[in-house]
């Protein structure tokens, strides 16, 4: 048990490093997006937050109890609505932005 928690600590540290680096890089890139595109930026980011579907997939695949599998399936449906809906809505908004001909 002790050993496992040691390995866990290393794993957590690495994931935390990923979190910090991604936040910093994301911050730099996103700051460049002009206010004109803030709505599509937000709905696009919204779609990305559906990335939690990856977690839902692995957790549900590993789950054994029926209740957990059903809850997992619900999580997959919701996350996928978020992903598909978010990206398509963003695409629709962005296509509306046209320059003066």
Partner 1 sequence: MFIWVEIVLAAAILAGIRLMSTPETAVQGNRLTALSLLTAIVLVLWRNNILPQPIIVVSLAAGAVLGLVLALRVTMLQMPQMVALLNGLGGAASMFTAIVALGDRSDAAAFADQVTGGLAVAVGGVTLSGSLVAAGKLHRILSQQPVRIRLAYRLVVAGFLALLFLAPLMRSQASGVELTAWMPALGACALMAGVVLALPVGGADMPITISLLNSLSGIAASICGFVVDNAFLVAAGAIVGASGFILTRIMCGAMNRSLAQVLTGATAAGTVPDAAYAGQKPVETETATSPAPPGPESVAGKEAADRAPFDPVEALIEAKSVVIIPGYGMALGEAEGQVRDIYELLESRGADVKFAIHPVAGRMPGHMTVLLADVDIPYDKMVQIEHINPEFPRTDVAIIVGACDVVNPAANTAVGTPIYGMPILRAHEARRIIICNADTRPGYSGIENPLYNQDNVVLLLGNASSTLEQLFKDLSARASEKTGNG
Greatest Cα pair distance in the chain: 68
Smallest separation (angstroms) from partner 1 to the CB of 17:
10
Smallest separation (angstroms) from partner 1 to the CB of 92:
7
First-to-last alpha carbon distance for the chain, in angstroms, is: 68
Q: Does 91 bind partner 1 (CB under 8 A)?
A: yes
Binding-site string for partner 1 from residue 19 to residue 48, where x marks contact by CB under 8 A and - marks none: xxxxxxxxx-xxxxxxxxxxxxxxxxxxxx
**Interhelix angle 66-96/38-49, nearest 10 degrees:** 160
Q: Does 2 bind partner 1 (CB under 8 A)?
A: no
Q: Does 96 bind partner 1 (CB under 8 A)?
A: yes
CA–CA gap between residue 40 and residue 99 (Å, rounded): 16
Residues near 44 by Cβ (< 8 Å), separated by ≥ 6? Answer: 86, 87, 90
Count of chain residues binding partner 1 (CB under 8 A): 89
Q: Does 6 bind partner 1 (CB under 8 A)?
A: no
Q: Does 68 bind partner 1 (CB under 8 A)?
A: yes
């Amino acid at each position: 048990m002790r050993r496992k928690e040691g390995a866990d600590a290393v794993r957590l540290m690495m994931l935390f490093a990923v979190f910090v680096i991604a936040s910093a890089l994301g911050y730099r890139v996103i700051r460049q997006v002009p206010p004109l595109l803030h709505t599509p930026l937000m709905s696009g980011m919204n779609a990305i937050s559906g990335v939690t579907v990856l977690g839902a997939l692995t957790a549900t695949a590993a789950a054994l109890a029926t209740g957990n599998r059903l809850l997992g399936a619900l999580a997959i449906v919701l996350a996928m609505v978020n992903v598909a809906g978010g990206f398509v809505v963003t695409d629709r908004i962005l296509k509306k932005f046209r320059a003066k001909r």
